[in-house]
Amino acid sequence: MELLSGRRLAFAEPYVSPVHILRSLAATACAGPFMLTNEALAARREGRIGTMALLSCGCTAIAWALALGVVLIAIASWATANLGSLEFAG
């Protein structure tokens, strides 16, 4: 996403926009852990958050990525089960 837009992945335009709600939700759901990590690292470099807050953001990003993986596996499993139940007339 960063390569396509030429901007750092963050919770800001062009990734998150009140005008494009569905696109923003999809981008945040899929790339949210990376957005959170980038924002936390930027805040740490600027001195806005401490080490404990950075660690908390890191743990949250890991949990978020794991939960996203579980959801994607469930969707893939559901999709393959539904595709397998289709009968093709031949």
What per-residue confidence (pLDDT) applies to 58?
96
User: Is there a contact between 35 and 9 (Cβ–Cβ < 8 Å)?
Assistant: yes
Task: Output the pTM of the full model.
Answer: 0.74
* Tokens of residue 39, six digits: 């924002």
DSSP 89: -
Residue-number span of the structural domain to which 27 is assigned: 2-81
- Indicate if the pLDDT at residue 89 is higher than 60: no
Q: How many domains does the chain have?
A: 1
Task: Encode pLDDT of 2-51 as tens digits.
Answer: 666 667 777 778 778 888 888 888 888 888 899 999 999 999 999 999 99
DSSP 8-state class, residue 8: -
Please count the residues of the chain. 90
Per the domain annotation, does 89 fall within a domain? no
Q: Quick check: is 66 in a domain?
A: yes
Give the per-residue pLDDT at 83: 78
Distance of CA 28 to the CA centre of its chain: 5
Which pLDDT score, from 0 to 100, does residue 3 have? 60
Q: What does the pLDDT read at residue 43?
A: 96
Is pLDDT above 80 for 78? yes
